[in-house]
Amino acid sequence: MDVGALVLTIIAPVFILASVGFCWARLGNDYPSEFLSKLVMNVGAPCLFLSTMTSSGIQLQVLGEVVVAAVLVLALMGVIGWILISRLGLKTTVYLPPLLFPNNGNMGLSLCLYTFGEEGLALALGIFMVMAVMQFTVGVMIADENAPSPLNGLINALGQPVVLASFASVACIALDYQLPEWLFRSVSLMGQFTIPIMLLTLGVSLSHLSVKNMRSAVLLSLMRLGGGFMAGVAVAELLGFEGAARGVVILQSTMPAAVFNYLIAVRYKGSPSEVAGVVVTSTVMSFATLPFVIAYLINY
């Protein structure tokens, strides 16, 4: 199979499922986004963590290195994003979160799975865990000028089922513990609905968003995608990553802005229409840029 055909097999499922969700909502059909999002975050994603991590054969050291890489990428994007936003005269509380927090869940997990297999999914879940904790602590602090102490935000984030499941998965890896077959099959079955529902929900969410300030949306989207790619490459080179670890760090860093940025902006009244513009624009642009990123990773 040539590179073009291989890239198509990776990108197509993501695009098709997101498009189905988009069209479904545009046609006026009901879609219980709130219910399904809670189901994914409280049941599906935790089960996906447990089943994937405990069966992937991933080494704890490799997982830890990828987690460190995610933190470094986040810090690097924070510095670059703050400088760019300041130069453009934009509001940090509005535009910095979409630059910092990419869509490592809906799109990132599926793309890493299709590109690098089960090992890639396990590593991608490690990055997703880091970004989820940071978004609901640091992200909320940035978006809400009257945010409570970061300790409270950290406690709330660490109490989420998906984070608790990730800790349990790490413990299983560290202790070389295998889940009983009946339990593994149960959590594996429940985890299988996570990625399809996340992609459908992404499409539905995009159907409800619109772009208000096109100039700012395009500039920030270019920064999210291009800056994320460069940050991912820089960190991967710095840490000497190779193979799936290198690819996952770069691919997860190159994702468009997460829809959760919009939801947090709505919650804390942080110009959600402006944030929505970055989410929509970066996602649309990513369908044009991701094939080249994946082709680069495959050929590296």
Beta bridge partners of 257: 102
What CATH number has the domain spanning 3-299?
1.20.1530
d(CA 11, CA 47): 24
The Cα 6–Cα 273 span in angstroms is 36
Please state the domain extents for the chain. 3-299
Q: In this model, does residue 30 exceed pLDDT 90?
A: yes
177 Cβ neighbours under 8 A, 6+ residues apart: 54, 171
What φ, ψ does residue 288 adopt, rounded to 5°?
-90, -30
Residue identified by tokens 């399904």 is: 36
What's residue 238's pLDDT? 96
pLDDT tens, position by position, 109-146: 999 999 999 999 999 999 998 888 888 788 878 876 66
Query: Among 43-52, 136-145, 179-188, whose mean pLDDT is lowest?
Result: 136-145
| Residues paired with 124 in a beta bridge | none
Q: pLDDT class for 162, splitting at 50, 70, 90?
A: confident
In total, the chain counts a number of residues equal to 300
Strand, coil or helix: 91: coil
Contacts of 109 (CB under 8 A, 6+ apart): 48, 121, 124, 125, 128, 194, 195, 198
> How far, CA to CA in Å, does 292 sit from each of 3, 238, 253?
10, 22, 14
Say how far residue 159 (Cα) sits from the centre of its chain: 19
CA distance 245 to 239: 10
